[in-house]
Amino acid sequence: MRLRTLEVPIAGLPDELDGLRIAHLSDFHLGLPSRGGVAVERAVEWTAERRPDLVCLTGDLLSRGSGEERLRGLLSRLPQPSFAILGNHDFAVSRDPFSEPTAVREVEPATLLSDEGVTVELRGRQVYVAGSDPRARWTRRRKRPAELAVTGPDLRILLCHYPQAVDGLPHGAFDLVLAGHMHDGQLCIPYPGGKLRLAHPRARYTSGLYRRSGGVLHVSPGLGTTFVPFRFFARPEATELVLRTLPV
């Protein structure tokens, strides 16, 4: 697996938040036999060693309820504050025949965000973290990610399982948008200069950083697997994002 550190320039970031470190983890898919479980364990261990300022988890924590006890043990080892959202697999909204709905509705000591946001103080500045419920994609009874935007805090972060949600955000809605879901394709065919991602061959956002009008997007390659219990040319990754001030 890959343990990666990325610098992320943020326009107008206060000097006090320059160098702020955010651990971004995603797509554990616990509850089914998979090598992804080993990757999750290593990612949590690494995150605990790094002691970032903030930990963010962007959904698909479980594929089956049988993984809940293991999930809670892993989350208890993460530095605080930590925030999480759920993904489509947590509700078994997937073509994966091995997934089942889970009953997880809180993930203490992490804070589970569901169409809501909270403000925390980091380095003497106000940091707003909002979490979008994945069901906003398939039901109108949920808030859209854009509705979670606010003005005022020194740094505004959106956790949203689906990366393409960034395209629906108004200009300047968030400073940073964190997403997962893609697994970097999970099963890929390499070719000179790139690779064909079999799971998402036409996806615009697959992994890494993208600067968009609604905010800087980071898509995590994730740690677990779906459909088949392995990856091919799509390494699992835990990412530490180091924020840097970009003058306006």
All residue ranges of the chain with pLDDT < 70 are: 140
- Residue 147: its pLDDT value, please? 95
Task: Give, for 75, the enclosing helix (H) or strand (E).
Answer: helix 68-75
Q: Is 210 helix (H, G, I), strand (E, B) or coil?
A: strand
Give me the domain span that covers residue 213: 2-246
Tens-place pLDDT, residues 217-229: 999 999 999 999 9
- Residue 145: its pLDDT value, please? 94
- Residue 93: its pLDDT value, please? 86
Q: What CATH number is given to the structural domain containing 202? A: 3.60.21
- Residue 78: its pLDDT value, please? 98
Q: Give how many domains the chain has, as a whole number.
A: 1
- Residue 71: its pLDDT value, please? 96
Task: Give, for 3, the enclosing helix (H) or strand (E).
Answer: strand 2-11
- Residue 97: its pLDDT value, please? 81
- Residue 222: its pLDDT value, please? 98
**Positive or negative CA dihedral for 80, 85, 91, 97?**
negative
Length of the chain: 248
Rg, the chain, Cα only: 17
CA distances for 110 relative to 12, 16, 71, 106, 166, angstroms: 28, 25, 11, 8, 24
pTM for this entry: 0.96
Separation of alpha carbons 215 and 237, rounded Å: 22
- Residue 164: its pLDDT value, please? 96
Tokens 């940073």, residue located: 176
Contact call for residues 60 and 26 (beta carbons, < 8 A)? yes
Tokens 């509700």, residue located: 91
